[in-house]
Amino acid sequence: MSRAPAVTRAATAPGRRRARACLLESVRAGLLLSLLGLTACQPAGPGVDSAGPVPVAAATGASALEEELKQPIWQELERIEREGRSHPAASEHALHELQPRTAPGSLARVQLLAQRGHLATEMRNAGLTASILKDLEEWPAEASRRAAHLALLYVRARQQRFSGDLRQAERTMAPLAGYSVRETGPRLLLRCHDFMAYLQAETGQIDDAIASANEALRLADGMGQPWRRALVMSNLAFIYHQAQQLELAQQFSVQSQAEANLDPSPALLYDVHTTRGIILQTQGWVGQAQQAKQAALDAARQSGSDALIALALGNFADFHLNQGNYPQALEFSEQALALAIASQNIDYELLSRHNRGIAKIGLKRIEEGKREVLEALARDEQRGADTNAANAWLELGMHLERAGDLPAAVDAFHQHRRRIDQVLRNETRKALLESQESYEDERRAKEIELLNRGNSLKQEQLRARDLQLWLWAALGGCIVLSAVLLGLAYQRIRRTNQALAHSNAALKTASERDPLTGLANRRHFLAAIKRLAEHGQISGSLFLIDIDHFKRINDRHGHAAGDSVLIEIAQRLRACLRDEDLLVRWGGEEFLILVNTREASFASTLAQRLLDQIAWPTVKHGTQGIPVTASIGFASFPMAPHELALVWERAIDLVDTAMYLAKAHGRNQAYGIASVAAVDEVQLQSLAGDMEASWQAGQLELITLHGPARFEDSRQ
């Protein structure tokens, strides 16, 4: 496993916004014409200029910020900030000596304390961290109090991050969206958005992480310093890599390399080369990835930082694991572990322990290696690093499969699926909460707007009492004209609402479709299953299909070829089914099928047809012919012989287990559950926990089918 160095999404509704804008425009036009006679004939007197002067305090605050940022002290802070990662103790000492030169209550003092807090948490100096937090809590100046509060949140979140609570750290930084450059200055705000992107990526909130990293890049662009742009672009490239957006990851990696070359330093070059090596390795460019990781290790050694050397060695160990060079991977892992423990860096220590365990599994020291990987995994899960934990389970399963421990590999694959599903559920729950908060904000804004309109109307009524009698005739004409305009506005709003309804219906349909294959997605499945499953219990035949060695297809032929495979396989699956059958892209390279037929003979016939259609002919991508096979798990519900009914979640878990059994027995196969000697769900769960043993004991009957052709890809 590789790691890069450690450093609210608001969805809009364009149709609804357009409708609201039309309403406001029409009402404003009606009020303007209704009051035209009043304002035209109003006697001269004191009034309020609508244009108004620019607020003096705001203008003064902006100019004061610009003047303060020109002071020489900021150049010293920048120099120390840049060198801080390589020599944290020396940088902390320099900041301590510099602090008396910053004015109490100034933004420079805020920035200095934020940098000291960064270094104090990095060095695990609890006493110094507590002292800095106290200084920020007792901030003396009202003008810079907001900046001091953001620095307080930043230091506290870093303290939580290093104590292992990533989720709490992300919650602590949640108010970040409410701060502006005018309040904090660009350096502190950039630092906080960059750190927020790291936290969101580590806790599985990839879309939010990309948004935060892009905000950091916008701030870096405004500062005009190549080293800052290089660092932020490198972090953004790694987040796109986590999101499997490899083209964007490569694009930002190349740009970060170009920016770093304009103003290089060992720590900066280490960051850039590390991220580039990870992306190249994922893309299958083995030679270039090795060169990049060697360049990162050289830069880390040049910096003299034990922590950077530990991470560089850990990433090199991961490279050798992927090449099957287990002795070299074990050697690099042990070197990295010693340095990570010495520098007290929990991230790098867990990375080294995980890689060392995988290397031991590859050297056939399976139980010893598995124990070490599971210990590292448990600590990652305790600290909330859900994305890392899910990826680690998948890697563990792949290496256990290579080592021949098939039951343990199947269990690791199950654990990976549970973690990935949990991340998906968490992101869905967060999106719902954000949607509710957005709705409440809009409702409150509308109430305030209506209140303001009411107040304005009352003022106009008071002023109207003083007008001469002849104005009533003009007012009557304006009222008639306003009625006409309001009628026209009503018709316009009605047409807009109709268009909005059609737009919303189209958006709903699009949200339930996979954009690549055109198949239904999980959201559509969750809506459909409420109609298809009575009391949540599924009735029919359920199939779960996983394309074999899909990662190898991407690595060998490129991600465009992988997309071609997914599109072609989706078409072949649809050709095997009826219009009323439900076909879903379940995620990645997995597909789910639900047919409203439960005869065992029909299910096995369909499973064989699916195997045949997927495997032949080869998938064409340009001039290439890509051989493809799949592993399938299937069952019919309620289950024979006791007519055991299951809720749909349990049914999917059951066919998922059968699918992984097909993978463990060589792939290009379908394993179907014909019957199971269970009278309730508890007994079924016990038998399914070790399906192969239950099969051998005669407590569970399996149907095994084989695809038309077998092929083996050479291992990397």
pLDDT in tens, 20-34: 334 334 334 443 333
Helix (H) or strand (E) holding 14: helix 14-34
Domain borders along the chain are: 13-39+472-507, 522-706
- Decide if 190 contacts 223 (C-beta within 8 A): yes
DSSP letter assigned to residue 644: B
Rounded to an integer, what distance in angstroms lies between the CA atom of residue 430 and that of residue 269? 36
Q: Do β-strands 669-676 and 630-637 pair in parallel, antiparallel, or remain unpaired?
A: parallel
pLDDT of residue 569: 96
Amino acid (1-letter code) at residue 254: V
Q: Which residues are CB-neighbours of 65 under 8 A, at least 6 positions away?
A: 107, 182, 185
Return the pLDDT at 322: 82
Amino acid 50: pLDDT: 35
Average pLDDT over all residues of the chain: 81
Among residues 500, 541, 570, 536, the alpha carbon closest in space to that of 633 is found at 541
User: How far apart, in whole angstroms, are the C-alpha atoms of residue 4 and residue 241?
Assistant: 10
Q: Which of 67-71, 75-79, 435-439 has the highest mean pLDDT?
A: 75-79
pLDDT digits (tens, 9 = 90+) for 664-680: 999 999 999 999 999 99
The per-residue pLDDT for range 448-466, each reduced to its tens digit, is: 566 656 556 666 666 666 6
pLDDT of residue 112: 92
- Strand locations in 479-617, DSSP E? 540-547, 582-587, 590-595
The lowest-confidence range among 170-179, 502-511, 532-541, 542-551 is 502-511
Alpha-carbon distance 435 to 419, whole Å? 24
More confident residue, 413 or 28: 413
C-alpha angle 420-412-311 in degrees, rounded to nearest 5: 75
Q: What whole-number distance in Å separates Cα of residue 707 and Cα of residue 607?
A: 10
Pairwise pLDDT comparison (403 vs 546), residue with the higher score: 546
Q: Are strands 624-626 and 619-621 parallel, antiparallel or unpaired?
A: antiparallel
**Tens digit of each residue's pLDDT (9 = 90 or more) over 181-190:** 888 889 899 9
Could you tell me which residue, 493 or 451, shows the higher pLDDT? 493
Q: What is the pLDDT of residues 378-394, one digit of tens each?
A: 887 776 666 677 778 88
- For residues 218-223, average pLDDT: 91
- Does the pLDDT at position 264 exceed 80? yes
The packing angle between helices 306-322 and 286-303, to 10°, is 160
pLDDT at 442: 56
User: What CA–CA distance (Å, rounded) separates 336 from 309?
Assistant: 7
The topology under which CATH files domain 522-706 is Alpha-Beta Plaits (3.30.70)
Q: What is the largest CA-CA distance in the chain?
A: 102
pLDDT of residue 543: 97
Structural contact between residues 410 and 693, judged by C-beta atoms closer than 8 angstroms = no
- DSSP secondary structure, 372-403, as one string: HHHHHHHHHHHTT-HHHHHHHHHHHHHHHHHH
pLDDT at 455: 59
Which segment of 74-88, 479-493, 499-513 scores lowest on mean pLDDT? 499-513
Mean pLDDT across 126-140: 93
Give the separation between CA 187 and CA 220, rounded to whole angstroms. Answer: 8
Residues 6 or more apart in contact with residue 642 via CB below 8 angstroms: 678, 679
Rounded mean pLDDT, 301-318: 83
The model's confidence at residue 406, banded by pLDDT at 50, 70 and 90, is confident
Q: pLDDT tens digits for 515-572?
A: 999 999 988 998 888 877 777 788 899 999 999 999 999 999 999 999 999 999 999 9
Of 485-499, 544-558, 574-588, 694-708, the poorest mean pLDDT is in 485-499
Range 112-122 average pLDDT: 91
For residue 49, pLDDT over 50 is answered with no
Higher local confidence (pLDDT), 58 or 259: 259
Burial of 325 (0-12, 13-18, 19+ CB in 10 A): middle
DSSP string, 238-270: HHHHHTT-HHHHHHHHHHHHHHHHHS--HHHHH
> What gap in Å lies between CA 364 and CA 324, rounded to an integer?
12
- The CA–CA distances, whole Å, from 255 to 182, 233, 274, 337, 697 equal 29, 7, 14, 32, 60
Give all strands of the β-sheet with 590-595 in edge-to-edge order: 582-587, 590-595, 540-547, 630-637, 669-676, 700-706
